[in-house]
């Protein structure tokens, strides 16, 4: 496990704080020997992330990238190419919906709110992958984070469920485009984890309780559970796996009655 990602440069987006799923992935990638490159949405976030990375005993580079800016995305990959030469893996852990679109009925989703949620949470994977492939000359692995609200109705997830459905289908189409270059792309469909983004979802504690009660493993998932699966998907252990949506949810998605 210690050397699974040795000498691999892995870009990890979406670390906001130590509770972020992306931070759990960063810790696991670091443990597996990978070189971590982090991004935050703002200068302030990037500075906080850099501080957080110091707890790993080998502080890593942190860059600023707001995913809604094409120039910002291009600049990020130019900076990474200049400093690291090439990239072996990338983690996309970014999602956002406007607060008003996570309240009330789904049918009241605004045109602007729909476009915003889909742009930030799904199109961003396409935009990042298009740049990442250019600095993956020997192939690579891309990973994104999704949620079961794409498959079934979770009443409080609303427009994010639709955004995650678009994200998952994008994984299939990107896998088809990138396979010939040796670039694999997969998604982890994670069980609920109490993060900053999760705070925007009403009744989140009920979702956590329901998983604990009904999932085959009888517990919620941890950042470490997700991080370890991420290492598998970013490493050669998963060399023939692409276009896959892998549930890391204590088996909750398999339960009916
Ligand atoms: P988080 O709040 O820690 O992370 C969300 C990240 O998205 C933040 O770092 C934020 O800065 C980033 N972001 C939002 N808009 C951005 C923009 N315009 N440009 C750049 N970055 C932007 O929350 P999290 O729960 O760790 O979320 C990470 C991913 O995991 C998301 O895709 C989320 O949907 C997914 N996920 C979360 C759960 C859960 O229960 N927490 C479950 C399944 C999937």
Tokens found for residue 160? 């994010």
Name the average pLDDT for the chain: 96
Q: What is the whole-number distance in angstroms between the Cα of residue 134 and the centre of ligand 1?
A: 25
Q: Kindly report each contact of residues 173-176 with a partner whose C-beta sits within 8 Å and lies 24 or more positions away, as own/partner.
A: 174/125, 174/126, 174/129, 174/142, 175/242, 175/243, 176/243
pLDDT at 57: 81
Asked, for residue 3, whether it belongs to a domain, the answer is no
- Residue 21 in contact with ligand 1 by CB distance below 6 A: yes
Kindly state the greatest CA–CA separation across the chain. 54
pLDDT, one tens digit per residue, over 4-44 is 999 999 999 999 999 999 999 999 999 999 999 999 999 99
Task: Give the angle 251-197-136 at the CA atoms, nearest 5°.
Answer: 80
Task: Work out the pLDDT band at 60, boundaries 50, 70, 90.
Answer: confident
DSSP classification of residue 193: -
Residue 147 is a catalytic residue: yes
Pick from 71, 195, 220 the residue to mutate for probing ligand 1's pocket: most ligand atoms within 8 Å of its CB: 195
Structural domains counted in the chain: 1
The CATH number covering residue 157 comes to: 3.40.50.720
Which stretches does DSSP call E strand in 65-201?
A: 89-92, 140-146, 183-190
pLDDT at 67: 96
Q: Is residue 2 part of a domain?
A: no
157, 172, 173, 232: the catalytic one is 157
Q: Would 256 be classed as within a structural domain?
A: no
Residues 75-102: pLDDT tens digits? 999 999 999 999 999 999 999 999 999 9
Give me the domain span that covers residue 179.
9-249
Categorize the per-residue pLDDT at 124 as very low, low, confident or very high, splitting at 50, 70 and 90.
very high
Kindly report the pTM of this predicted structure: 0.98
Q: Is residue 52 part of a domain?
A: yes
pLDDT digits (tens, 9 = 90+) for 133-153: 999 999 999 999 999 999 999
Q: Is 122 among the domain residues? A: yes
């Amino acid at each position: 496990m210690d050397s699974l990602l040795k000498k691999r440069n892995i870009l990890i987006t979406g670390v906001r704080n130590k509770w972020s799923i992306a931070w759990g992935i960063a810790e696991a990638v670091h443990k597996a020997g990978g070189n971590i490159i982090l991004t935050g949405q703002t200068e302030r976030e990037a500075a906080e992330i850099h501080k957080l990375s110091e707890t790993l005993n080998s502080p890593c580079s942190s860059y600023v990238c707001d995913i809604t800016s094409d120039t910002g995305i291009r600049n990020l990959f130019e900076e990474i190419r200049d400093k690291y030469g090439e990239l072996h893996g990338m983690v996309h852990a970014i999602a956002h919906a406007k607060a008003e679109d996570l309240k009330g009925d789904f049918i009241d989703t605004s045109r602007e709110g729909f476009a915003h949620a889909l742009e930030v949470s799904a199109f961003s994977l396409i935009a990042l992958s298009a740049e990442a492939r250019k600095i993956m000359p020997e192939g690579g692995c891309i990973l994104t984070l999704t949620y079961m609200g794409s498959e079934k109705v979770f009443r409080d997830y609303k427009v994010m469920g639709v955004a995650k459905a678009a994200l998952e289908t994008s994984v299939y189409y990107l896998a088809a485009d990138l396979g010939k270059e040796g670039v694999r792309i997969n998604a982890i469909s994670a069980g609920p984890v109490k993060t900053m983004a999760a705070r925007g979802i009403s009744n989140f504690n009920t979702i956590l309780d329901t998983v604990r009660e009904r999932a085959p493993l009888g517990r919620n998932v941890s950042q470490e559970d997700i991080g370890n699966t991420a290492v598998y998907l970013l490493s050669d252990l998963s060399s023939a796996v692409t276009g896959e949506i892998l549930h890391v949810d204590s088996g909750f998605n398999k339960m009916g009655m």
